[in-house]
Structure 1
Amino acid sequence: MHTSAIIIGALSAVTAYAKPVAQNGRWTPEWVNRNAEVSGPAPSAVSAAASLQSFSLLGVPTATPNPSPNAMLVAQLITAPSAADRITLLNDAKGNGTADFKFDLNPAANPAVAAQAGGEVITADRKRFAALTGLNVAVAGLFYQPCGLNPPHAHRATEVLTVATEGTLLGGFVFDNTFTTEISEEFSQFQSFVFPEGSMHWQMNQECHPVTAIAAFSNEDPGAITTANRFFQNTNQDVVLAALGFPEQITPDNFQAFQANIPAPFVKGIKQCYDKCGISY
């Protein structure tokens, strides 16, 4: 698969994507049971129920929700005179149930995070996990559905992404204007890939079953700017048209319709992967 096709597809947001089935507020895809030998016709013959027995995108469904974000506590931690004072504040908050030194990345423990068509990201940053305040680190759990694409985006942090479960991700990034080559790699279970701070980067699950990864960040508030959404949906439309250089294709007359059809991350990925996995679209 030519990696530039993935970026073009994500940025233009014209890729069709399958409609998953909601289960208890989370998304259940149609995927293949990799514990069985599948050959011949379409993998879609494997039932979703059988697949769920082997692969769970949901993590632990009985996980207890994390404490709700506490902006007042974070403000106190930022202004605390010393690291010991921060620990004291956190310990007091733990005692009344408003913070913890432990964060649960299970989706069920984070009901406020909306699952998307291609998967979801659970981020433990300073806002959601106050214990990180002043430590310059954050972590995220990424739950990729089959063919799920985390489209091009950037952070104000370096990211190291490690595949935690069976499966292979394809990832890549582009850097500044003086470096014109895309760096891309396949990486599988227990392998890591680095995305430098400020780089526009993406990952895609090429498997027919869910894949989970863990990301580490060099900033307690790494943020995320999803390129297509923020550029096409939030930038002045005349600026967008001038930057793209093809106003004959995207015009002021059709710009709003174009904006409305850009899916939120995660998105369902490439048609070639749907066909391989027998996923309808």
Structure 2
Amino acid sequence: MRSLSSIFALLVAASVASPVAVENLQSLEAREANVYKRFDAVNPLSKREINPSTVNVLTPVQLTDQRTALLLAQSETAREAILFPNAPNAANDTFQFINNTVTPPTGGTIFLSTINNFPALGSTGLSQAVGFVNACGLNTPHWHPRANELLTVVQGSLIGALILENDTGFGNVVGGAAPVIGPYPQIETTLSNYTGMLFPKGLVHWQFNPECEPAVFVAGFDVPDPGRVEAARGFFSGEPDEVLEASAGYSEFLTPAQIMGLRPTLTSSFTSIVQSCAKKCGIPYA
């Protein structure tokens, strides 16, 4: 099978922004402000007011204490006493999803509620994410090692894609199936408003907003701690560099020097903007 690095190199190309020279910084900032003012005027939902009564206020120590107490509780009555000590106050049973990246040139943000920041989920087998995807924003290729995900677009549209598993062929084994050469098959579709897509546990997937207006999605997971692994960062975190070079299958395709150059530029999740889309939408790209 052709090496995984040829796939991940494509993922990196999609998830790493190439700097473009900017002649006038003040002019760039003014253009950015005007572009996003227009977006906000067309889509007031791109910014959301925060309900002060539901803002997540527990400190890390309080979160740990609450998780521990709920884990040790042996009855529903005991759980309710921990979650609702001051009825009718529902603070421990609500979670505020916050859109905190509406300023360019950010691609967007994901706000995830899991057992880590919302202990009430501990015994439910559930968690949830809300993704705020700015124009041309890319939720970089990743997978969830412990959860299936059902994602539904609730504003705008997104391209959703996943890379399928292909386990036919296990190398050049005498009498065995021939190794499969080439990239893993990919499926993709455009998700319009209120359309959902299933991303099975362990499969690499991504979402991209190809439009010039913001999009929003809600995603549910079937465990309270789904995890997230960035495909490109996960691969290029491997050591030593010769291991990654060998896995590429082509010495001229990926050298240790290229690997060293790529590592510092890899993005964290959901911060990339696709350059061709940015050009189409008139978004400053730097």
Indicate the TM-score class for this superposition, using the shorter chain for normalisation: 0.7 to 0.9
Q: Which of 16, 24, 29 is 2:18 aligned to? A: 16
Query: AA paired with 1:141?
Result: V
Q: Which of 65, 69, 74 is 1:76 aligned to? A: 69
Tell me what 2:188 maps to: 184
Query: In structure 2, how many angstroms separate the alpha carbons of the residues matched to 1:7 and 1:193?
Result: 23
Tell me what 1:25 maps to: none
Give CA deviations for 1:214-234 in whole Å, capped at 9, x if unaligned: 010111111111111122135
Contact 1:122–1:140 (8 Å) recurs in 2:
yes
1:113-152 superposed matches below 5 A: 117-152=106-141
Residue 160 of structure 1 aligns to a residue whose secondary structure is strand
The alignment status of 1:90 with 2:90, answered yes or no, reads: no
Residue 75 of structure 1 aligns to a residue whose secondary structure is helix
1:155-170 superposed matches below 5 A: 155=144, 156-165=146-155, 167-170=156-159
Structure 1 residues 76 and 86, CA gap change in structure 2 (3 angstroms): same
Contact 1:161–1:193 (8 Å) recurs in 2:
yes
Give CA deviations for 1:67-100 in whole Å, capped at 9, x if unaligned: 23411211221232233322221113x67x9961
Query: AA paired with 2:18?
Result: A
The gaps in structure 2 that reach 5 residues or longer are 1-5, 22-30, 169-183
Give the number of the structure whose alpha-carbon radius of gyration is greater: 2
Query: AA paired with 2:262?
Result: F
> Once the 2 structures are TM-superposed, how far is the Cα of residue 242 of structure 1 from its aligned partner?
2.2
> Once the 2 structures are TM-superposed, how far is the Cα of residue 129 of structure 1 from its aligned partner?
0.9
Q: Which of 98, 101, 104 is 2:96 aligned to? A: 104
Query: In structure 1, how many angstroms separate the alpha carbons of the residues matched to 2:251 and 2:244?
Result: 9
Q: How many residues align?
A: 246
Query: In structure 2, how many angstroms separate the alpha carbons of the residues matched to 1:47 and 1:273?
Result: 14
Give CA deviations for 1:3-61 in whole Å, capped at 9, x if unaligned: xx997543345543789xxxxxxxxx959xxxxxxxxxxxxxx6432332232433225
Aligned CA-pair RMSD: 3.2
Give CA deviations for 1:178-206 in whole Å, capped at 9, x if unaligned: 38421211111111111011111100011
> Once the 2 structures are TM-superposed, how far is the Cα of residue 246 of structure 1 from its aligned partner?
3.5
Contact 2:136–2:273 (8 Å) recurs in 1:
yes
The gaps in structure 1 that reach 5 residues or longer are 20-28, 32-45
Q: Which of 44, 49, 53 is 1:60 aligned to? A: 49
Q: Identity over the aligned pairs, expressed in percent?
A: 28
Query: In structure 1, how many angstroms separate the alpha carbons of the residues matched to 2:39 and 2:105?
Result: 20
The normalised TM-score by structure 2 is: 0.75
Structure 1 residues 213 and 102, CA gap change in structure 2 (3 angstroms): same
